[in-house]
Structure formats: structure tokens, C-alpha cells
Amino acid sequence: MRWNWQQSDWPNFAYDATYLRSREDRFLKGAGMLVGVMAHLDADDRQNLSIELIAQEAVDSSAIEGEILDRASVQSSVAKHLGIKTDHRRANAAEAGAAELMANLFHSYREPVSDAMLFHWHALLMNGRRDLADIGRYRTHADPMQIVSGALHAPKVHFDAPPSQAVPAEMKAFIGWFNDSRPDGRSPVSVLARAGVAHLWFESIHPFEDGNGRLGRAIAEKALAQGLDAPAITALAETIQRHRKDYYTQLQRASLSNRIDEWLDWFSEIALAAQQRTLDRVYFLLAKTKLLDRLRDHLNPRQEKAMLRMFAEGPDGFEGGLSAANYRTITDAAPATATRDLAELVGLGALRKQGELKRTRYFLNLGE
């Protein structure tokens, strides 16, 4: 099998730009909508939303690779790196490093990519690791860089990356293209195509000993932010995490040829879904503010605590809805008190009720 980097047309990725045009237009229109909706948030809400989005991307990008980070710890660390007062929750090395990387991306989205920037990002991401020979530099090992799965005695090879000695030259070509293809560069490329090509190209080189997936998704985020000329964090990793199996399948297929229409078709849909996910979060925050304003002075402390706990779950809410047992756990209310509190919340239009008896569930009523 000849991988994309072994073929004569590498790295001249070919695709039909006209096919992507309508999606590019939709993405830019969605960006304008996002700016308009964000303008309705007050400064504190915008700040909190930025922290939430940045932290969520760090958590989900790590989750794609099977590493579980504590979201609250990452949020606290992100806030610290953005110069915002926080609860000083202790983050472990991986959480602190992932948070600082994403905060750095948010702050410096306009800066060109360089070896030094990537080395810094890698050192942050590998914070606390002692099992790697190459941290904060490109890989140097002589062994093949392979993506494999399955048992050790019978591994399935999904991809062979270029040998380590070829990485510096490959990365020089990639970095040159990335910086030249930005909107104000010498050879600008449209926003979704650039982000999709950048991610695939970086993953094909696989320049580091570990962390390539997370760094590649950060580069795609950087490309999207530069395309919009805004320090925006699109819910890219969160959306990829929801389609994780398909993501790996598409990357593997794209590594077989430098004709990448299928990859960009998939990636552009993911980017649009990620942008919609971000819009949903903003709309959710606006609805939350409106509902809590309407309920001010109408809730007892237990009800307020339960409502805030439900809002903390985000736009998706509690899986399957809030039960009376959940309410009692959150508030320490007695069964009769919980029943009365929940009935009042339904009467106030704060919650809507579904089901009967033990199957009764409650959902936020954001349409009121």
C-alpha cells in the first residue's frame, strides 16, 4: 500500500473548491449570526462562555484519544490563564497543560505557525509525562511511526507516517503553506478547506511522538479562527467526539490518496455542526438568563439550587430528564417536599413535565 505522502503528487492536495462554496458561505453566515447573538450577552456571560467553550474543547480533544480530564479543573485552569479570578481548583499536570494550550490558542490565534509555537504546544500537552524521549521537539526515533489497533501479537496498521528523519522538511513545507494560505497571506485558501487540509496534512506527517491528534485539532481551530479573524473557539473537538469512529475512518481513507473531496465533504459538515453547537450554547445562555430573570424572587433555595444544577448540564440537559429522586439528591429534600417543589416549578413555567408516576421526568422549559 502506498500512503498519501509516498505518492508522486504529495502534498498537492486536490479537491473541487466549487463544491464547498455553499458550505463556506453557510459557515461565514453562521459566524455573523454568532457575533450578533453574542452581542446580546453581558460581559460576564461572554467571559464565562469563552471559558466554558475553551475548556470543553480541551476535555473533548483529550477524550477522543481516550484521556479523561476533569472539566471543572480544566475550566478553573483556563480562567487562570485568561487572567480571570477562579476558585483555585487544583488541576493535574495533563489538565493544566491542556488548558494552557487552549488558552494560548485563544490569545494568539493571529500569530503564524512556527516550529517554536508547535514545540511549546507539545511541551504543554505532554506536561508531566516521563515516558517520552522527545517532548517539545519533533520525533527522532528510528522505529516506524504507525497508527495501530488490535492485539499486540496481531496489530492492525491503519497508517504509516513518514520516517522521523523526513519530519523537519515535511513540517517546513506544511508551516510555509499554512502561513501563506491564511486570509491575508500570499495564497489565501477559503476557511473550511484550509482547516480541513491543515488537519489532514498535519496528521499525515504525525510529527510528534505523541499528541498529534490533539495538536492537529488545535491547528484546525486556529485555521477557523484566522478565517473569521476572531478569537473564536468552535466546538470542533466536541463534535468530532460525537462522531469519533467515523472521524478515524475518514482520516484513514483520506491517507490513501491526495484527492481529498470525500475528506473535505465530511470535515466541512462537522465544522458546520460544530458552529451550530456553539450557537446552541449561546442561545441556551440567553434563554437561561431570561428564565432566571423571570423567576427571580419566586424560587425557594432548594428550587434555585436544582435549577442551577440543571443549567450546569448545558443545552443537552440531564440525560432522560430530571426525576424526583434526582431532585432529592441535589437538594436533600424530603419526598413530599420534592413533589411540592417540582409541582411549583411546573406551575411557574420553569419546568415541563413528561410521563406519570415513577416515569415522571422534568425538563427545562426554555420556550416560555
Mean pLDDT of 28-34: 93
Domain co-membership, 254 together with 345: no
What span, in angstroms and rounded, lies between the C-alpha atoms of 297 and 52?
Answer: 28
CATH number, domain containing residue 328? 1.10.10.10
Domain co-membership, 213 together with 329: no
Domain co-membership, 164 together with 33: yes
For residue 185, the model assigns a pLDDT of 96
The predicted-structure confidence for 237-261, as pLDDT tens digits, reads as follows 999 999 999 999 999 999 999 999 9
Q: Does 228 reside within a domain? A: yes
For residue 253, the model assigns a pLDDT of 96
The predicted-structure confidence for 160-209, as pLDDT tens digits, reads as follows 999 999 999 999 999 999 999 999 999 999 999 999 999 999 999 999 99
Q: Which of 200, 278, 266 lies closest to 233, judged by CA?
A: 278
Q: Does 107 reside within a domain? A: yes
Q: Does 291 reside within a domain? A: no
For residue 188, the model assigns a pLDDT of 96
Highest mean pLDDT among 137-146, 259-268, 350-359: 259-268
Mean pLDDT of 30-54: 88
Q: Does 27 reside within a domain? A: yes
Query: Which residue among 250, 283, 316 closes a domain?
Result: 283
Q: Does 330 reside within a domain? A: yes
For residue 1, the model assigns a pLDDT of 65
Q: Does 335 reside within a domain? A: yes
B/e letters for 258-293, b = 16+ CB within 10 Å, e = fewer, are bebeebbbbbbebbbbbbbbbbebbebbbbbeebee
Domain co-membership, 351 together with 277: no
Domain co-membership, 202 together with 72: yes
The predicted-structure confidence for 8-22, as pLDDT tens digits, reads as follows 999 999 999 999 999
Q: Does 292 reside within a domain? A: no
For residue 57, the model assigns a pLDDT of 94
For residue 187, the model assigns a pLDDT of 97
Domain co-membership, 264 together with 337: no
Domain co-membership, 170 together with 239: yes
pLDDT band at 310 (very low <50, low <70, confident <90, very high): very high
The predicted-structure confidence for 61-115, as pLDDT tens digits, reads as follows 999 999 999 989 999 999 998 888 777 778 899 999 999 999 999 999 999 999 9
Please tell me whether the peptide bond between 11 and the residue prior to it is cis, using omega within 30 degrees of 0: yes
Domain co-membership, 119 together with 18: yes
Separation of CA 303 from chain center: 32
Domain co-membership, 96 together with 151: yes
User: Could you tell me the residue range of the domain that residue 322 belongs to?
Assistant: 297-364
Domain co-membership, 348 together with 308: yes
pLDDT band at 151 (very low <50, low <70, confident <90, very high): low
Read off φ and ψ for residue 363, nearest 5 degrees.
Answer: -130, 150
pLDDT band at 231 (very low <50, low <70, confident <90, very high): confident
Output the CA–CA distances (angstroms, integers) from residue 326 to 6, 184, 298, 319, in the order listed: 56, 53, 21, 12
Task: Assess whether pLDDT exceeds 60 at residue 368.
Answer: no
Q: Does 123 reside within a domain? A: yes
Mean pLDDT of 297-302: 95
Q: How crowded is residue 200: how many other Cβ atoms within 10 Å of its Cβ?
A: 23
Task: Assess whether pLDDT exceeds 80 at residue 306.
Answer: yes
For residue 239, the model assigns a pLDDT of 96
Q: Would you state the cell numbers that stand for residue 333, as one nine-digit string?
A: 429534600
**Amino acid symbol at 339:** T
Query: Which residue among 253, 283, 313 closes a domain?
Result: 283
Highest mean pLDDT among 45-49, 222-226, 278-282: 222-226
CATH number, domain containing residue 234? 1.10.3290.10
pLDDT band at 315 (very low <50, low <70, confident <90, very high): confident
pLDDT band at 153 (very low <50, low <70, confident <90, very high): low
Q: What is the mean pLDDT of the chain?
A: 93
Domain co-membership, 36 together with 64: yes
If phi over 0 gives left and psi between -120 and 50 gives alpha, with beta otherwise, what is residue 16? beta
Domain co-membership, 125 together with 26: yes
**What is the model's pTM?**
0.89
Using the Cα atoms of residue 109, residue 115, residue 120 and residue 121 in order, give the sign of their dihedral: positive
For residue 217, the model assigns a pLDDT of 97
Dihedral of the alpha carbons of 310, 312, 316, 318, in degrees to the nearest 10: -40
For residue 42, the model assigns a pLDDT of 85
Q: For the chain, how many structural domains are there in total?
A: 2
pLDDT over 90, % of the chain = 76
Query: Which residue among 237, 254, 283 closes a domain?
Result: 283
